[in-house]
Structure 1
């Protein structure tokens, strides 16, 4: 009988110990989630491009983007239309936008903006092609308004002649922004390569347009102003001379910011970009909008890279 009670006592003790350990594990998991929750004065969003490898290889259904964003601790998302090339062609534009709305509402995340890559070039030197691009972008502006976004990001690659680029970009951005203003949506030019990555050209164009609904999306990366070949993408022949000075210029008209990250050291610091310097420039500006996390490299998994980028972003946003 004595042995029976000892056995029972041992079982009860083991049960209570296991319960305690399970609660401890749950607590650790909760603490890990807390690390990447937003706790700064700046709202943080997740750019869908951060997951482009998972999507392009079929590992992740692109419509599950809001679900993953929420799991990673984000409350807001930025969509990328080129990651839905197949769905846009098979389901149609309206059906894709409806799914974006359904999924974002289901997972309780805010839609911040749409990055538009499939609607033509607003800086095209050919007026007919530029007109086509303006018309193609209008449905994205309508969609952004429907989703509750604040803006769309557009491309201004255009011609490889600076003078032609300036005039074409002024025309394309101005006319599209005038339409966007009727929907309370902004049109944002990103430093995305070639002349669009040269704030010495971009900012005077935005200032000349002089519309509240036309501005920039200032990206930490993307500073190639000339390629080795006359193509939008490829090896870089020349970068903007001072990316931090250039970023400061872009921030004068910024209505969105992308915290691009590539590689990290063992202490969690970005090794190719000075995050502290970029974030101090943001703090010195009047900007109070969303800062998006955009991890773009292969040394970490995309989800690890997203978390590393957000932690570093928060580290410097919380310091004075």
Structure 2
């Protein structure tokens, strides 16, 4: 998914382009000339939290800037500054892919302690809250191979320690197994891996939260059954507004047919041009009783500023009615707007939706 923000730019050019677009020439010059100037940022806890009020605090998921980060136009260490001073958001959700090193046995592992200390210093200096770390490529916690499943559990241990050091409340993990197995078998394997990881996290007073993130985890009822199977207070969910495709259609008909085969006879799903989808409103409803965070996923917007795939007001009413209070993270993943414009559009819509539900 390409966007205007991902053209070949160095990091300074990216910051100049994005901040100029969002904040205007004067604010952009102030940001680039002295990024620590609080006049270009929100006062107190961040514009997101101020607008949201005491019940909900808007945070920013680092994945919203994944194109710029992958191209080297933005450095991971600059993320808190971007969140605070370009978007007025005082809480961040990190993605381990942008500060991890591959280990042949344990998967992606954190960079060294000095780097983590610098991350903490940057957020402390800016008054930005570290909310969670999204962990991918650390193995499958529901792998049917016992050794691989154990490696996946242990592979997450260092991320728990790093999240604790940063002051996060949780790491976000994936409930993945083997799609060739029955839903019940996959559930039992994921319950095992998640339980073992959550036991370790308990000793560090950390949460382990699972996002609906493809495969059976995008079936809200199935993931809720995994949570019930684990049955631990520190193991919960991160409901994502848009990740309810159990199989995505990426343009290859043969691959899509293979991916959807285990699910297509189930009336819980409907097929769309994008893939085979579990109802997103039902899915969020299923997952909210276990929620320790919420991810406001966005892709495309109409002329009125509404997300064309998801009714944000309806979603936020589900979130509120579940009794949830806490962070709601912006995660823009579209390709039509630049990443900076997409974040801004999502923030504006989310603020409107929060105000609408009261």
State the TM-score bracket (shorter-chain normalisation). Answer: 0.7 to 0.9
Alpha-carbon separation, structure 2, partners of 1:275 and 1:237:
21
Is there any run of 5+ residues in structure 2 with no aligned partner, and where? 1-25, 31-38, 249-255, 261-272
What does the per-residue CA deviation read over 1:254-277, in whole Å, with 9 as the maximum and x for residues that have no partner? 001000010111221111111111
1:46 to 60, 80, 83: 60
What's 1:123 paired with? 142
Q: Does 1:68 align with 2:82?
A: yes
- Seen in structure 2, the aligned counterparts of structure 1 residues 313 and 191 have a Cα distance that, compared at 3 Å, is same
Alpha-carbon separation, structure 2, partners of 1:95 and 1:120:
25
What's 2:99 paired with? 84
2:115 to 93, 96, 113: 96
Alpha-carbon separation, structure 1, partners of 2:125 and 2:79:
12
Contact 2:96–2:136 under 8 Å retained in 1: yes
Alpha-carbon separation, structure 2, partners of 1:201 and 1:268:
33
Q: Does 1:282 align with 2:297?
A: no
1:108 to 115, 127, 150: 127
Distance apart, 1:90 and its partner CA: 11
What's 1:18 paired with? none
Residues paired across the two proteins, number:
290
Distance apart, 1:287 and its partner CA: 0.8
Alpha-carbon separation, structure 1, partners of 2:146 and 2:275:
29
Higher Rg of the two aligned structures: 1
| Local SS of the residue matching 1:112 | strand
Distance apart, 1:111 and its partner CA: 0.4
Contact 2:47–2:90 under 8 Å retained in 1: no
Distance apart, 1:163 and its partner CA: 2.5
What's 1:189 paired with? 210
- Seen in structure 2, the aligned counterparts of structure 1 residues 32 and 269 have a Cα distance that, compared at 3 Å, is farther
Select between 156-165 and 270-279 the one with higher mean Cα deviation: 156-165
Alpha-carbon separation, structure 1, partners of 2:117 and 2:294:
26
1:209 to 225, 230, 247: 230
- Seen in structure 2, the aligned counterparts of structure 1 residues 266 and 226 have a Cα distance that, compared at 3 Å, is closer
Distance apart, 1:237 and its partner CA: 4.5
What's 1:318 paired with? 355
Is there any run of 5+ residues in structure 1 with no aligned partner, and where? 1-24
Alpha-carbon separation, structure 1, partners of 2:340 and 2:313:
22
| Local SS of the residue matching 2:208 | strand
TM score, norm. by length of structure 1: 0.84
